[in-house]
Amino acid sequence: MLCISTKESFMILQSGELYTLATDPMLILMARECEDVEDELELAALSAQRESTLLAAQAYTAARQSSQSF
């Protein structure tokens, strides 16, 4: 059962790679190992936490870029 949800949030890493929650190795591994509802809830919680971190990183990057343009 694949229980990972795809999110629209993404970030381009310094290496030039595109990072999304759908390509997060830890979330992919956990999704492959989901066996029951408890596993799915744990994955959903971790996914939400990682999405929050990703959105915060995007906001920080945008703020730095806008402050450097002045």
Give 5-33 pLDDT, tens digit per residue. 444 677 777 788 888 888 888 889 998 99
Question: Cβ atoms within 10 A of the Cβ of 43, count?
Answer: 19
Contact 27, 48 (CB under 8 A): no
49 backbone φψ class: left, alpha, beta (φ>0; ψ -120 to 50): alpha
Helix orientation angle between 37-68 and 25-32, rounded to the nearest 10 degrees: 170
Contact 2, 32 (CB under 8 A): yes
Q: What is the pTM of this model?
A: 0.70
Q: How confident is the model at residue 2, as a pLDDT? A: 39
Judge contact between 30 and 5, C-beta under 8 A: no
